Amino acid sequence: KRRIGIMGAMPEEIEGVVALLSDCVESSMGKRTYFSGQLNGIETVVVFSRWGKVAAATTATTLIHEFKITELLFTGVAGAISSELKICDIVLGKRLIQHDMDARPLMNQYEIPLLSKTYFESDATHLVIASKAIQTVFENKSLHSVIGENDLVEFNISQPKLFIGDIASGDQFFSSNEQKVNLNTQLPNVLCVEMEGAAVAQVCYEYEIPFSIIRTISDIADETAHIDFPSFIKKISSKYAAEIIKNIYNQM
């Protein structure tokens, strides 16, 4: 039976998505609260992942084992690595890589031990559905009604764009241009950086659960990141995530 797990990297994002659930039941386990219910008639479990690779991997594992999810959607924010990305753009991860994995000289840098793999591919069907859904959000200008004119002006957001490509994850918050340039030099295809996606991707790969990682750019991963990041979350991403999820379910 189809059951979708939705993980969010921010409590603010989860709130908006939980509000979409009908017949919502809460259960707590391991410092996490899982919200189970129906969304557009599809059984859905929503949870705040907590932060970092370990937290995200354990949450994904619990969704698979305890809640028997058959697919997983992850929404969160990310810092831009590619200079083409602007705040509020959305990145759909086609491939996920752990930028802090390095077991040299036993194996290549970034290679995941025992899996002979460096990148995890997200689900192709999800990618099509999610990109249609996000284009709908952009085209309908529902963004303006969801977020509000003042905040759009404050963050200098005009028309956000959708990007599909590589996302890098690791247990580091990027807050300097040096970190950003290093990653860009090492992995020039990476569009953005965050702290959970590739860990969730690894768990889903191991359990054969189709997944997709959806990230909104909250900052540009440099010295300004710690200022942009919290205010973006508070003012924008909380509303944005729910709107994206709603549109994804409309396409399912």
To the nearest whole angstrom, how small is the minimum distance from the Cβ of residue 169 to ligand ADE?
A: 8
Q: Does 174 bind ligand ADE (CB under 6 A)?
A: yes
Stretch that binds ligand ADE, among 116-124, 183-191, 202-210, 216-224 (CB under 6 A): 216-224
- Which of 35, 120, 229, 240 binds ligand ADE (CB under 6 A)? It is 229
To the nearest whole angstrom, how small is the minimum distance from the Cβ of residue 139 to ligand ADE?
A: 26
CA distance 164 to 159: 17
Q: Does 16 bind ligand ADE (CB under 6 A)?
A: no
Q: Which residue type, as a one-letter code, is found at position 231?
A: S
To the nearest whole angstrom, how small is the minimum distance from the Cβ of residue 250 to ligand ADE?
A: 27
Q: Segment 31-90, which members bind ligand ADE (CB under 6 A)?
A: 77-79
Which positions touch ligand ADE (CB under 6 A)? 77-79, 173-174, 193-195, 218-219, 221, 225, 229
